[in-house]
Amino acid sequence: MKGVAKIAPGEGNVALVDAPEPQVLPRHVLIEVKAAGICGTDLHIYHDEFKSTPPVIMGHEVAGVVVEVGEGVESCRPGDRVTSETYFYVCGQCQFCREGLINLCPSRRSIGSRANGAFTRYLLVPQQNIHHLPDSVDEQAGALTEPLACCVRALELTRVEPGETAVISGPGAIGLLMMQVVKAAGARVIVLGTNADEARLEKAAQIGADFVFNIQTADTLTTIREMTNGLGADVVFECAGAAPSAQHCLDLVRRQGRYAQVGLFGKPIAWDLEQVCYKELKVSGSNATVPSAWRKAVALLATGQVQVGPLISNVMPISEWQHAFNLFEQRQGHKIILTPIE
C-alpha cells in the first residue's frame, strides 16, 4: 500500500512510499481509511519541529471502516464506521495514566508520529481507541473528530460560563471548531483574524460566531472593551499558534480572566508574562486529548451542535500530499482531507 511517511529526521524528508499492510493483532482493530485530515502537527513534523520516529507513516485525524478485528475485540466488528483516538501505546501504570490523563503519559506513542498513521489505506489501532461515527456524520466529517476532541479538552481545562464573552484568536480549523465548542457552552464568541484570514472570518460568521474582526483593520482592543463595559474578554483561546496573537490575547483578556493556549508555535516565543501577574490571570494549556473529550466530541457531532462539514474545503488523494501541505501552509481553504490510493 502507498503511504505518506516521514522517512528521516530533518527538514522535509517526507515522501510517498510503499509500505506493508499491517497485520491485525489481539485486542487491535484494522481500519480501512476513508479520510484523513491534515493537522498543523503534520507540518511541524515535516519541518522537524515535532518529535517523530522515522520512518513512520504520518496522519492522525482519521475515519474509516473496520475491516478486521483481533482476538478479544468486542467493541466493534467489520463494516462498522469508526474514528480512532490517536495513542497507539500508553503505559497504563504511571500516575498520569492511572488518573485518566493518558495524554501526559511519558511513554505515550501516537499514530502519525511514533507509530504508523492514517495517510495510507489501512491503519491498526488498539480496540479502546475506537469510537463509532453517528449515522448523520460521514467519514470525511468524522475525520475531524480528533481536532474537535482537542478543542473539547481545551474547554474542559478552561471554565466558560453562559453569557460570558470569549475571544478566539486564529480562524483556522482549530479556531473554527473552538468557536463552536465555546458557543455550545453558552458564551458570546468573538473570532479574530488577519488580512490573510478574510475567507476564514467569513466562514466563522456563517457557522455561528457572534462577531468577527480583522485585527489589521479594526481596533479590537477598544471595541472589545466597549462591548464588555471596559473590562475586556472573560476568556481568550489562542488558536493561531502565533506570537503576535498570543500577545494580543493577553491585552484583550480582563483582570482575573482566563487565557487558554490551544495553538502550537513550533518554537519558543516572547510573551509578556508580567501581565499574568498584574491581571491575576488563570492560564491553561491543553495537550491533545483524553477519552472524556472524545465522548463529548462525538456527542456534539451527533446532536449537530458542532458542524464540521462546512470546514472541509479540499479533498485530495495522498499522491497530492505535497500540494496539500503547501495549501495548508499558505492558509488556503479551511480543512484539507487526504484519501488513500491503491
Residues 245-263 pLDDT 10s: 999 999 999 999 999 999 9
Phi, psi of 123 (to 5 degrees): -130, 130
Low-confidence ranges of the chain (pLDDT < 70): none
3-class DSSP state for residue 3?
strand
What is the pairing mode between strands 282-285 and 253-261?
Answer: parallel
172 within 8 A of 242, measured Cβ to Cβ: no
Looking at residue 26, its pLDDT comes to 97
Looking at residue 331, its pLDDT comes to 83
Looking at residue 332, its pLDDT comes to 84
Give the C-alpha separation, 16 to 135, whole Å.
33
3-class DSSP state for residue 95?
helix
192 within 8 A of 165, measured Cβ to Cβ: no
3-class DSSP state for residue 8?
coil
Looking at residue 266, its pLDDT comes to 79
Going from the C-alpha of 16 to that of each of 3, 323, 327, the distances in angstroms are 5, 13, 18
Looking at residue 208, its pLDDT comes to 94
pLDDT digits (tens, 9 = 90+) for 171-189: 999 999 999 999 999 999 9
pTM of the model: 0.94
Looking at residue 267, its pLDDT comes to 83
Looking at residue 166, its pLDDT comes to 98
Give the C-alpha separation, 173 to 40, whole Å.
10
Residue ranges of domains in the chain, CATH in brackets: 2-147+289-339 (3.90.180.10), 159-285 (3.40.50.720)
Give the C-alpha separation, 202 to 70, whole Å.
46
Give the C-alpha separation, 340 to 32, whole Å.
9
Peptide bond into 55 cis (omega under 30): yes
Looking at residue 129, its pLDDT comes to 96
Looking at residue 210, its pLDDT comes to 97
Looking at residue 276, its pLDDT comes to 95
Reading the block at residue 337, the C-alpha cell is: 482531507
Looking at residue 334, its pLDDT comes to 86
